[in-house]
Structure 1
Amino acid sequence: MDKKPKIVVVGDALLTPEFLAESFSSFAAAGWDVVPFRFGPPTLHELDEQLLVLEREGPDAIPAPEGLEPLLADAELLVVHICPVSSSLLERNPQLLAVGVLRGGYENVDAAGAEKLGIPVVHTLGRTSEAVSDFTVGMMLAEMRNIARCHADIRAGGWPKEFPNTGRIPEMRELTVGIAGFGEIGRLVAKKLGGFGCRVLAYDPYVPDDAVRGAGAEPADWETLLAESDVLTLHSRHSAGSPPLLGEAEFARMKAGSYLINTARAGLVDMAALAAALRSGRLSGAALDVFDAEPLTPDHPLRGLDNVTMTSHIAFDTEAFYKRSSVLWREGMDRLFEGSDRRVWINKTPLADERIEKLKALWQAAAAKV
């Protein structure tokens, strides 16, 4: 009897194994052996802490959960959310045809190590794009228009009329908004800002100028983005071990009185330097959803500042995010195998072609049975 193809899906406190098993039930209906497994601690706070470690230090910083490796010995496909996938784990499971990541970011997977082994890594495009781009625009308005701090003051018994930027509160149509990182989320931010009449600049060395213009923004180099943006919003990736994109020198080159928005990665910003720029008035304000310590520590330098809006890493948190994670990943795989969109395949190497073709045959055979 032929062996059934096997997919191991690793959930966590956010996307639970039970949810993923249900999400991949069509594979089981098509004859795959679907094996759910769990990574990580039971609470979202603890999971956030582990994700921060993985983003800063890479997939070797946290071991894979005990009991996972025996399940992989005869698996064709491993799909994870936040679970770390190191090159050593892959070296011990060379039969894997691919590793799927149910996130746009893939810091928890050693993609370079997988590439050396010829194992494709396939991530998820667009999973949080709508949610995070909506939230980003909301953070701009909340900080510049004092929405959150006014609400907090009223809840505490006040009725505030004076704010850190009183007398300098802008209207959106007056602003130049700079977008650092012009991928899926950056482009949606530009589109949504179009309705406000802003001037939108975009910096991304990997995106052609024509594509930037076609998405409603003006191409800009890094120095221009810093010097001319009234609001700078970050939508770049951050590689483990890389220095921050914004530190003391960059804040000094930003437009005086500008605002910073970060709904991307905590490692993009030197938090101590940001706090100093906010205290000095170099920046009028900032709004952040990601931090170098989550939950925020009592002595964090941003605590106590009255010109910063902070949220608890919730920019992604919509109903659609949960429902669509695995759907979007599968749709990306469909496009990959159709040849219409290879962006989901991170580490495109000739070594991977044979595996992709084998997985493609299994994938399409399963699709024919559903």
Structure 2
Amino acid sequence: MKALITANFSDESLTRLTDELGMDVEYLPIADRDGRLPEDELQAHLRDTEVLIVGYEGIPEHLLDEADALQIIACARGGPDANVDIDAATEREIPVLYAPGRNAVSVADFTWGEILSLMRNIAHGHHLLHTGTYTGDARADAAGGGSREDVTWGMGNDSPYVQLKGPELAGKTVGIIGMGAVGREVAKRAQGFDVDLLGFDPYIDADAMAEHKTEKTELDELLRESDIVTVHVPVTDSTRGLIGGDEFEMMKESAYFINNARGAIIDQEALIDQLQSGGIRGAALDVYDMEPIPEDHPLLDFDNVVTTPHLAGAAEEVIDRHSEMLVDDIEAVLNDSDPTHVANEESLS
């Protein structure tokens, strides 16, 4: 069988495809290109491809019309409907495999990194050092009279010790919006910080949340009670614009807001208004309503906002994980077994 791979893929899984499954693999990874594969080029490759492992290229119906040999689509993402026309694939009896939870560990790690960076001014302190605010002539600054040397950065009211002081995590309440794969990993990592957890997810019951030491609650209560609110839901009709002006108004003035999910889930202008008015203490964002954001974007002007360029899922292990998941399911389909993750089960009947 001929396979085309446009996603980044692990060497081990490439070897499984060629040596164990006997495939002729054409590998065109994202890492070797400066963007998505152009549609005309992708269309030419698809004409004799039987197994497509796709990353971020769009697979609309008209491309499937030209892919007469195609038998399997495997999407290296948690939500294949973002770039694959699943209905069109189903009509052609092509199963669409995918990799839910592939980056859950990565995003959860990143989330706690952002929380700590925001609350304790780690990113801001780094920026101030690199822009010269807290650099200067080295000097000893010891109180004297003690039996050991005590060098500090200065103790005046304009010192970093005073200006960049932030709260500890212990005793705080963390509200997790979305208790899917990522939310559960966030909750798991929370246990070492001695925090209380609230969770909002209409699809997860209280007992399931309790397994992760999280109390199920409604969204309004979570927003009012939490010291930290972190968002981990996909973009759907019900979650688009989930957090808007009214929801930000419910949050404590001392609260921090984290979004590593998708920009469309929040009203970004309402968040900016809340930050400008002091309605919340700070925010950390890895996603935006448009990407990349321009260099004059107002979010870049806040000292109490940590901004990163959509990095939460960019851990090295994510590629290994989605590669293994997809090859396992491709092998299952070829052996007439049930794959673990298929977006259109009816295509298998």
Name the structure 2 match of 1:28. 18
Structure 2 partner of 1:231: 228
Q: CA deviation at 1:41?
A: 9.4
How many Å separate the matches in 1 of 2:65 and 2:172?
Answer: 51
Q: In structure 1, which of residues 68, 72, 76 is the aligned counterpart of residue 50 of structure 2?
A: 76
Task: Determine the C-alpha separation between the residues in 2 that align with 1:151 and 1:281.
Answer: 23
1:30-74 CA-partner distances (Å, limit 9, x unpaired): 32222234679944xxx4xx7xxxxxxxxxxxx962122233234
Q: Judging changes above 3 Å, is the alpha-carbon distance between structure 1 residues 211 and 184 closer, same or farther for their aligned structure 2 residues?
A: same
Q: SS of the counterpart of 1:99?
A: strand
**Cα deviations by residue, 1:179-231 (Å, 9 ceiling, x for unpaired):** 11111111010000011121111222222332222222111222222222211
Q: Does 1:204 align with 2:201?
A: yes
Match runs of 1:239-250 below 5 Å? 239=236, 243-250=240-247
Counterpart residue number, 1:360 = none
Q: Give the letter aligned to residue 186 of structure 1.
A: G
1:137 partnered with 2:112 = yes
Equivalent positions of 1:324-339 (< 5 A) are: 324-331=321-328
Distance 1:262 1:126 in 2: 17
Instruction: State the partner residue of 1:99.
Output: 73
Alignment deviations for residues 283-318 of structure 1 (CA, whole Å, 9 cap, x no partner): 110011122343331221212111101122222233
Structure 2 match to 1:90: 64
2:182 is matched with: 185
Q: 2:285 & 2:330 partners in 1: Cα distance?
A: 33
Q: Structure 1 38/240 Cα, relative in aligned 2: closer, same or farther at 3 Å? A: farther
**CA 1:200 to 1:335, structure 2 compared with 1: closer, same or farther past 3 Å?**
farther
User: Is 1:269 aligned to residue 244 of structure 2?
Assistant: no
| 8 Å Cα contact 2:76/2:323 also seen in 1 | yes
Match of 2:160 in 1: 160
Aligned amino acid, residue 10 of structure 1: T
Aligned to 1:320: 317
- Structure 2 stretches of 5 or more lacking a match? 135-158
Q: Secondary structure at the match of 1:69?
A: helix
Q: TM-score, normalised by structure 2?
A: 0.81
- Distance in 2 (CA, whole Å) between partners of 1:65 and 1:330 is 25
Aligned to 1:303, what secondary structure does the other structure show? helix
Displacement after TM superposition at 1:232 (Å): 0.9
- Which ranges of structure 1 fall in alignment gaps of 5 or more residues? 51-62, 355-370
Query: Structure 2 vs 1, CA of residues 200 and 318 (structure 1 numbering), >3 Å: closer, same or farther?
Result: same
Matched with 1:150 is: 125
**Residue 174 (1) aligns with residue 164 (2):** no
Identity of aligned residues (%): 35
Q: 1:9, 1:36 within 8 Å by CA — same for their partners in 2?
A: yes
Distance change (3 Å), C-alpha of 1:28 and 1:272: same
CA shift at 1:114, angstroms? 3.0
Q: Is the 8 A contact 2:283 2:305 kept in 1?
A: yes
Structure 2 residue aligned with 1:6, among 2, 9, 14?
2
1:353 and 2:348 aligned: yes
**Does the Cα contact within 8 Å between 1:261 and 1:286 map onto a contact in 2?**
yes
